[in-house]
Amino acid sequence: MMVRIRGQKGFTLAELVMVVALIAVLSTIALPVAKFTVKRRKEAELRLALRQVRTAIDEYKRLSDQGLIPVKLGGEGYPEELEELVEGVEIVGQVTKRKFLRRIPVDPMTKDEWVLRSYQDSWDSTSWGGENIYDLHTSSEGVAIDGTKYSDW
């Protein structure tokens, strides 16, 4: 037992070791939680970006099926480039252009170009045929929290 002399203040070595050990345990718990949170946020951004662009492509296709957007022969009614969704297209009988997106979202996983797929491509194709844009996905080979590949979303 340690007896303190009057006027001595401070912590014992045992108290300091206990505090350092407690901080180490708490930090080992906090780091994986922080990484998990960042991954979940990026996955939510990817889902939102895919939903926005796919909804815009579907709306473009709906209007072309109704005959409101002129369709090139063999085009199937899908946009030829993603930029068409931002720049807008002329609707038959209207003066203004119809825009489907404010901007093309950036792929949050790779910060790179989207992998495009045309209606004429086979379902297991790994390259874009270039005829039109039927769908898109990320080029990331990563695996999501739920175990699925990002490129399959």
- Give me the residue spans of the domains in the chain: 13-152
Cβ-contact 107, 139 below 8 angstroms = yes
Single out the residue of 94, 95, 54, 113 nearest to residue 78, CA to CA. 54
Q: What is the pLDDT of residue 87?
A: 92
Number of residues that make up the chain = 153
Mean pLDDT, rounded, for 119-147: 81
d(CA 87, CA 82): 9
Cβ neighbours, 10 Å, residue 103: 8
1, pLDDT greater than 60: no
d(CA 83, CA 36): 34
Between 77 and 33, name the one with better pLDDT.
Answer: 77
- With residue 145 as reference, give the H or E element that holds it: none
Mean pLDDT, rounded, for 17-38: 84
117, pLDDT greater than 90: no
Q: What is the pTM of this model?
A: 0.74
Give CA torsion, residues 136, 138, 144, 146, to 10 deg: 0
Q: What is the pLDDT of residue 6?
A: 64
d(CA 98, CA 123): 30
**Per-residue DSSP letter, 82:** T
Buried b (16+ CB within 10 A) or exposed e, 56-84: bbeebbebbeeeebeeeeebebbbeebeb
